[in-house]
Amino acid sequence: METKVIVGLGSCGIAAGARKVYDKIEAFKEAENLQFELKKTSCVGMCYREPLVEIIDDTGTYLYGEIDEERALELIEKHINQQSPVKEYVVQSDLFETVDNEFTEDQVKITLRNCGYIDPENIEEYEAKDGYRAIKKIAGYSMSRLDVIQTIVESGIRGRGGGGFPTGLKWKFANNNKSDEKYIICNADEGDPGAFMDRSVLEGDPHAVLEGMIIGAYAIEATGGVIYCRAEYPLAIKRLEIAIGQARAKGYLGKNILGIQGFTFDIYIKEGAGAFVCGEETALIASVEGQRGMPRKRPPFPAASGLWKKPTNINNVETLANIPWIIRHGAAEYAKYGTEKSKGTKVFALAGKIKRSGLVEVPMGMSIRDVIFKLGGGIQGGKKFKAVQMGGPSGGCIPEHLADTIVDYDSVNATGAIMGSGGMVVMDESTCMIDVAKFFLDFTQKESCGKCTFCRIGTKRMLEILTNITEGEGEEGDIERLEELSYQIKDNSLCGLGQTAPNPVLTTIKYFRDEYEAHIRDKKCPALVCTKLLTYEVDETNCTGCTVCAVNCPVDAISGARKEIHHIDQDICINCGVCFTKCKFEAIKIS
């Protein structure tokens, strides 16, 4: 077989330098007239090891990680020219065990089945992996629209974009509403860590999403499709445009698709401005129509009156990418993964204080602890696991003692968090939970469209209270005020943004109330994060009198002659932390 060299060119890989690696290998191949096939792929999920280069030859498959231009040439020289794999750079191989094998051994890849394994700009490679076989099955076996919908119902798949509404029921509602025009929309604009997953699927396997939309369009009798994708994803948009053109050329889009009389369907891309509120389906529809992205009252629901007041079905990227697999393999095969009420797999974007960050796909029912410690490798620097924030900016924080909670919609919701579109931000003991709540609330407050008074004003008041607490100006009663505002906002907001925005605050109060009390009553931040609540002192045993701290202090709060122990005047100190960062002898203590 011809040796293949495959470079991962997803956004994460390109950001890490993979484009330069590809260009270096290409130039060297041409200059030396080397005989191997150089190919491109996208993100395989192992983002913490980017740039990634895979070499496939007669002996096996070798995935190399953290490859720069110099190492790339070393791989070509040793692995290809000398037939000697460079084991110290191998992160995964089918020939021997590596530490990184733990990252994939418990994964079940359905959504991500092709990501990192095919060239996303080559439709033939998608077809070689059974791509478009599902829609051909529908055409060849003359599956009726109701047969397709029933298959999706029996699979148990629920919407992967947030609320987890059963996808099959959603399709059934849209199918029941008769109209000469119907639409199916792919929501690829969700603005949370899970959006990294959406982007990776669009970059790595765009045809899977297109095929899912085509099947959905057949099921509900849609005549037009829209992919609503934020303009900040240029690579995803580029590859989607290529895929749509290829699908048209092959007859998967257009008139009488695959000979199915009367089935005419096409797709276009609508670029969004990245507004978080447009993750809510009625706000998304308004944006597609050229209006400001603001939610509408429901009913009527989009299934009855959506885009251009026509019946419309909206699914997110991950949901649609699952559909072809379900049709090909059957509902029972999909439903064997997961729990009673949450079937299939779920993709998570692991981020934060974790050793192995990236994309993972696990069967529903795996515990959060296993996701973090088995796949993610545990916490960086040997520190203690404190909490994980799930569900994006409007998700909730799950503490360490609930880490055995399984991944399914009902179990995660019971903690006060939400599944969302798959963000999983891991925090260690050095994290201040009030600071975390403030960070996420600051985001949702800015992203509020302003339509609902409770969301527009209430989140602003909550943010002010949190800011005061972290700056040492918290008062007795602030916790109760935050709770009261939270429930008012949740009960009186029109859309999911306002209804879930207080989640980070409510869950941190529920599980870390002692930290709020320490900030308010003791004016201390137990995690030593909130600078205005910290005290900086000189450790006399380590101080060498180098004067670096005194020279850099912006308010001259530090005194002491050269080679003598220095002192910090607490009445002058503004807690900026410059002395701590500048000291080279660990002579500044924080309490």
Q: What CATH code is carried by the domain that includes residue 237?
A: 3.40.50.11540
Residue ending a domain, choose from 274, 303, 334: 334
DSSP for 172-206, written as a single string: HHHHHS--S--EEEEEE---SHHHHHHHHHHHH-H
Q: Give residue for tokens 């205005």.
A: 532
Instruction: Say which CATH number the domain at 575 has.
Output: 3.30.70.20
- Non-local (6+) Cβ contacts of 469 within 8 A are 434, 478, 516, 519, 520
What's the CA gap between 134 and 158, in Å, rounded? 19
In a domain, 114, yes or no: no
Same domain, 138 and 276: yes
Same domain, 192 and 286: yes
Six-digit token pair at 31?
């200059």
What's the CA gap between 469 and 456, in Å, rounded? 21
Same domain, 128 and 184: yes
- Report in angstroms the alpha-carbon separations of 219 from 167, 169, 174, 252, 365: 12, 12, 9, 15, 29
Using DSSP bridges, classify how beta strands 183-188 and 224-230 pair: parallel, antiparallel or unpaired.
parallel
The 3-state DSSP class for residue 166 equals strand
In a domain, 117, yes or no: no
- Non-local (6+) Cβ contacts of 370 within 8 A are 106
In a domain, 527, yes or no: no
Same domain, 137 and 278: yes
Residue ending a domain, choose from 428, 451, 477: 428
Residue 230: the pLDDT is 86
What's the CA gap between 227 and 212, in Å, rounded? 12
In a domain, 528, yes or no: no
Q: Which residues pair with 52 in a beta bridge?
A: none
- Is the omega angle on the peptide bond into residue 234 within 30 degrees of 0, that is, cis? no
Nearest-CA neighbor of 237 among 120, 126, 372, 331?
120
Instruction: Say which CATH number the domain at 409 has.
Output: 3.10.20.600
Residues 277 and 295 sit within 8 Å (Cβ to Cβ): yes
* 129 DSSP 8-state letter: T
Residue 192: the pLDDT is 52
Residue 285: CB atoms within 10 A of its CB come to: 26
Same domain, 202 and 302: yes
In a domain, 476, yes or no: yes
Residues 525 and 533 sit within 8 Å (Cβ to Cβ): yes
Instruction: Say which CATH number the domain at 493 has.
Output: 1.20.1440.230
Sheet holding 266-272, edge to edge: 266-272, 224-230, 183-188, 312-316
Same domain, 132 and 264: yes
Same domain, 301 and 203: yes
What's the CA gap between 519 and 512, in Å, rounded? 11
Q: 3-state secondary structure string, 271-333?
A: EECCCHHHHCHHHHHHHHCCCCCCCCCCCCCCCCCCHHHCCEEEEEHHHHHHHHHHHHHCHHH
In a domain, 24, yes or no: yes
- Non-local (6+) Cβ contacts of 409 within 8 A are 158, 164, 341, 342, 419
What's the CA gap between 71 and 65, in Å, rounded? 10
Same domain, 510 and 568: no
**Number of domains the chain is built from:** 5
What's the CA gap between 111 and 115, in Å, rounded? 8
- 459-470 helix and 478-492 helix, angle to the nearest 10 degrees: 160
Six-digit token pair at 103?
């990252």
Backbone phi and psi for residue 132, each to the nearest 5 degrees, phi listed first: 65, 10
In a domain, 118, yes or no: no
Instruction: Say which CATH number the domain at 12 has.
Output: 3.40.30.10
Same domain, 277 and 293: yes
Which residue range(s) make up the domain with 138? 123-334
Classify residue 427 by burial, with Cβ atoms within 10 Å: 0-12, 13-18, 19+: buried
Dihedral of the CA atoms 170, 175, 180, 183 (nearest 10)? 30
Nearest-CA neighbor of 323 among 45, 44, 131?
131
Same domain, 290 and 405: no
The 3-state DSSP class for residue 243 equals helix
Residue 411: the pLDDT is 95
- 503-511 helix and 478-492 helix, angle to the nearest 10 degrees: 140
CA contacts within 13 A on the Cβ side of 321: 30
In a domain, 529, yes or no: no
- Report in angstroms the alpha-carbon separations of 5 from 97, 98, 133, 200: 21, 20, 28, 21
Residue ending a domain, choose from 413, 428, 443: 428
What is the residue-level pLDDT of the chain in tens, covering all 591 positions? Answer: 789 999 999 999 999 999 999 999 999 999 999 999 999 999 999 999 999 999 999 999 999 999 999 999 999 999 999 999 999 999 999 888 887 888 988 999 999 999 999 999 999 999 999 999 999 999 988 899 999 999 999 999 999 877 789 999 999 999 999 999 999 999 987 655 456 788 999 999 999 999 999 999 999 999 999 999 988 899 999 999 999 999 999 999 999 999 998 999 999 999 988 788 888 899 999 999 999 999 998 899 999 999 999 999 999 999 999 999 999 999 999 999 999 999 999 999 999 999 999 999 999 999 999 999 999 999 999 999 999 999 888 899 999 999 999 999 999 999 999 988 788 999 999 999 999 999 999 999 998 999 999 999 999 999 999 999 999 999 999 999 999 999 999 999 998 889 999 999 999 999 999 999 999 999 999 999 998 899 999 999 999 999 999 999 999 999 999 999 999 999 999 988 899 989 999 999 998
- Strand positions, DSSP E, 46-125: 53-57, 60-64, 90-93
Using DSSP bridges, classify how beta strands 385-390 and 423-428 pair: parallel, antiparallel or unpaired.
antiparallel
Same domain, 424 and 456: no
Nearest-CA neighbor of 121 among 38, 40, 35?
40
What's the CA gap between 587 and 580, in Å, rounded? 8
Same domain, 282 and 193: yes
- Report in angstroms the alpha-carbon separations of 486 from 7, 344, 380, 399, 520: 47, 33, 33, 20, 19
